Structure 1
Amino acid sequence: MAGVKKILDFLEKFAVWGSIVSFTIMIFMGIMQVLFRYVFDSSLYFTEELARFMFVWAVFLASAVCSRRQIHAAIELFVSWMPKKLRKVVMIISSAFTIFFFALISVKGIEITIITWSQASPALEAPMGLIYLAIPVGGLLMLIFTIENLYTEIMNSSQPDTEGKVTEC
């Protein structure tokens, strides 16, 4: 299990740094666009498109990090009122739907990436498949991290509940 954790930690670091780099490039392109337009009275033709593409990558990679850390926005009011056993059942059902959704995103993302690979973006003339590749990459990372979280939750809940009990050393 330690080897799997190392791989998952590496994937998380990849997603963190990928989103940081994408976000940084996006911000830099925005600054360059404003600088060139208002200071030099000229416009760079590619900055807006590159910023948009970096935004897509940043969102999908950061979403994967949020999935691993379980910090996505959620409404937990009703779940917190449920008994512990029912809460576990709801969590498992919710995770199953989430896993299905991320698997669907990944498969359809691969299809879209293949279809759009031969199309060129207007300004950069980069393959559009590179931009759409963010969908299956982010989807697969979210899928893997959701499965990891579900596995961890099931393993932790299968251990006896010692909360509030005195145990001998």
Structure 2
Amino acid sequence: MLQTLDKLSSTVAHTTSVLARLMLASVAVILFVQVVLRFGFNFSLPWPEEAARFLMVWVVMLGGSLLVRDEQLVCVDFFDSFWPRRWLGYRNAFFRLLLALLLGVLLVKGIDSAIFGLRRTSAALNLSWFWIYLSVPVGAALMLFHMVVLAIRDLFRGPDTEQEASLLRAEL
């Protein structure tokens, strides 16, 4: 079961990474075109800043899930050498489940915000705020999934002492 979850987590992370890269590349292209138009031709479009801002929100939420999966969030591991390895697994699983609860709250509140956004549209793009606010529950759901997979792994295997290079780590 753990291998299946790891494989599913890898597939979800790869898909998320591709989407985040495409969105980030879109931001770069949109802003480049806007700068060229503004300073080269003294003309600017009304929508690029808004589109770039909304895409960056999506990139941050998708990227956050990759950080959770690769255990790149801030942690204090100074005292870890004093704990028995098995206890570290239980402690990490406990903390991951606490974070999963927090992410569950973020997921529920994000869904509420997205539903509230159905009644509004953005100024320049005339896009429903639902799609912008949807980034929060989608990102929270992805983070929650990866956090639960890591908690299950910690419970059954214990913490990884030697972490292999992942797609995200290889890029940094």
1-structure distance, mates of 2:133, 2:80: 35
Identity %: 24
Matched residue type, 1:92? A
Number of equivalent positions:
158
Match in the other structure for 2:166: none
Q: 1:71 aligns to what?
A: 72
Compare relative contact order (CA 8 Å, sep 6+) and give the higher one, 1 or 2: 2
TM-aligned CA distance change 1:45 to 1:67, over 3 Å: same
TM-score, normalised with respect to structure 1: 0.85
CA RMSD of aligned residues (A): 1.9
With over 3 angstroms needed to count, the CA separation of the structure-2 counterparts of 1:151 and 1:125, relative to structure 1, is: same
Is 2:144 the counterpart of 1:140? no
CA distance in 2, matches of 1:15, 1:83: 35
- The answer to whether the Cα contact below 8 Å between 2:86 and 2:158 also exists between their aligned partners in 1 is no
Structure 2: runs of 5 or more not aligned: 160-172
* CA distance, structure 2, for counterparts of residue 156 and residue 87 of structure 1: 11
1:135 Cα offset (Å)? 0.4
CA deviations 1:101-156 (Å, max 9, x no partner) are: 11111111001000112210000000011011010001001001000011111111
CA contact (8 A) 1:106 1:136 kept: yes
- C-alpha distance in 2, partners of 1:45/1:139? 31
For the Cα contact (< 8 Å) 2:20–2:62, is it kept in 1?
A: yes
Mind listing any 5+ residue stretches in structure 1 that lack a counterpart?
A: 159-169
Check if 1:88 corresponds to 2:75: no
Match of 1:166 in 2: none
- Residue by residue over 1:3-51, the C-alpha shift from the partner in whole angstroms, topping out at 9 and shown as x without a partner, is 5444333321221111111111111122112111100101111000000
**SS of match in other structure, 1:117:** helix
